[in-house]
Amino acid sequence: MSDEELPIETPGTEAETAQSAPTENPPVQRPPMQTPWWVSDSQSSSSSLTPLLPVKRVLQVTWYMALAMSLIAGLVGALVGKAAFDNSPHLVTSNKVIERSPNSIAGIAAKVSPSVVEIDSTTSSGTDTGTGFFIESNGYIMTNNHVIEAAVLDNSKITVKLANNKEYTATVVGRDTSYDLAILKIDVTGAPALVLGNSDGVQVGDPVIAIGSPLGLQGTVTSGIISAKNRPVTTSSDNTAGESAFIDALQTDAAINPGNSGGPLVDATGAVIGVNSAIASLGNSVSGQPGSIGLGFAIPINQAKKQADQLIKTGTSHYPIVGMSLDSNFAGPGAKIANISTAILAGGPAEKAGLKAGDIILAIDGQNIETANDLIVAIRAHSIGDSVTLKYQRGSVTKSVQLTLVASK
């Protein structure tokens, strides 16, 4: 029922009210009110209808809800879009402190590195870089002869750079071309000398660490194992006499590159077991220098110690010899005594043992000999005064003889 169907009472004037007062008019019959469907019968008699207000209130609530839902939907959409299209990395970080054992690679490197030095020698043809290490606290440094030989022959300056970047001019105490070793000295006291180990006790598979300045990168640390022992290695020399070094080397797969020469090869305790000296290479790199292929060679420290002691005491050193010249053109197997009149040193061990030109040396102390270099390396791995047994062939006859090694001139 609408408002237009309801009778409307309008107030009249006082006169009209007075005139109509005496007249008794019958009560106006109002049509029965119908109860809207949204109002219960119990509420119909006590409540008046205001149908527009509830509708208006509903519209207000719906508007706010719609706005809120729109905002929420927008936020959710933004988050989903970010997750789907945001390519920014989600990095996981950790603040955990790594505990390193003193015998770990890091621990050994930290202990040994302060004792390792870079050696720079400048000549008219350029600058050569190598490595060395303190063997005594009063400034004695061991390195390879080939690291400083060019500077010595050129009368050029040799500079030693310490791990703290301090630089000193070095003097050459002595050098030994036959073992590719040299001893330098700088004016310091209290230098951190390294412990020299026992290379005779090294086994294939032992872990090792090499420290040096490959390609001038001072303090570089690499690690590996001893991959072989008693490798005969020959290195050439820059001197005018054309002398070569013969090394009964330790082989390692620790990366060794140009500039590592003269640096220490240390064991799992940090003791020096070798002096890094040479590498095998398949060819030259782009820069013109050979690089590591995992075949590096070091002079056993027991041999290096003997030569260093002589160099520090006298400035020179000697190596053991048998007293015979070998034929370098003989292909083997074995090492052939040269067929020349001067092949056997007069009064030397070979002559005393009855060896003659043309004899072929097949073994030394039970170790087979394949080439002349094998025999030279095996002899120089001994000490002066050692006795050795040589097995040799003369024609179709094979014999063995014992002799004592003497010092070279």
Q: Hey, what domains does the chain have and what are their CATH numbers? A: 100-317 (2.40.10.120), 320-407 (2.30.42.10)
Task: Find the catalytic residue in 180, 248, 267, 374.
Answer: 180
Q: Would residue 261 show up in a list of annotated catalytic residues for this protein?
A: yes
CB 319 within 8 A of CB 366: no
> Which DSSP symbol is given to 114?
G
Helix (H, G, I), strand (E, B) or coil at 74: helix
Write the CB contacts of 237 (distance below 8 Å, at least 6 apart in sequence): 145, 146, 149, 177, 180, 243, 244, 245
- Strands annotated E in 213-263: 220-236, 244-252
Indicate which residue of 146, 227, 317, 374 is catalytic.
146
User: Is 46 in a helix, a strand, or coil?
Assistant: coil
- pLDDT one-digit tens code per residue, 173-221: 999 998 999 999 999 999 999 999 999 999 999 999 999 999 889 989 9
Question: What is the Cα–Cα distance from 369 to 5, expressed in whole angstroms?
Answer: 134
Instruction: Name the residue among 392, 130, 182 with its Cα closest to residue 307.
Output: 182
Query: Is 200 in the active site?
Result: no
Q: H helices of 86-144, where?
A: 105-112
Is-catalytic flag, 146? yes
| Residue 200 DSSP one-character state | G
Q: How many CA atoms lie within 13 A of 105 on its CB side?
A: 13
Query: Among the options 199, 261, 292, 317, which is catalytic?
Result: 261
* 226-242 per-position pLDDT tens digit: 999 999 888 876 654 55
| pLDDT in single tens digits along all 409 residues of the chain | 444 444 444 444 444 444 444 444 555 555 555 544 444 454 444 444 444 444 444 445 566 676 777 778 777 766 666 655 566 667 788 788 888 888 899 999 999 999 999 999 888 888 889 999 999 999 999 999 999 998 998 899 999 999 999 999 999 999 999 899 999 999 999 999 999 999 999 999 999 999 999 988 998 999 999 999 999 888 876 654 557 888 899 999 999 988 999 999 999 999 999 999 988 876 544 444 566 777 899 999 999 999 999 999 999 989 999 999 999 899 889 999 999 989 999 999 999 999 999 999 999 999 999 999 899 999 999 999 999 999 999 999 999 999 999 998 7
H or E segment to which residue 314 belongs: helix 301-314
Distance CA 336, CA 327 (A): 6
Q: What are phi and psi of 242, to 5 degrees?
A: 70, 25
Query: H/E element holding 211?
Result: strand 207-212
Query: How many CB atoms are located within 10 Å of the residue 304 CB?
Result: 26
Contacts of 110 (CB under 8 A, 6+ apart): none
227 φψ region: left (φ > 0), alpha (ψ -120 to 50), beta (else): alpha
Give the angle 324-329-334 at the CA atoms, nearest 5°.
65
Residue 334 has a pLDDT of 94
Is the distance from CB of 326 to CB of 336 less than 8 angstroms?
yes
Residue 208: which residues within 8 A CB-CB, separation 6 or more? Answer: 223, 224, 225, 226, 252, 254, 265, 266, 267, 268, 273, 274
Where are the extended beta strands (E) located within 253-311? Answer: 264-266, 272-279, 296-300
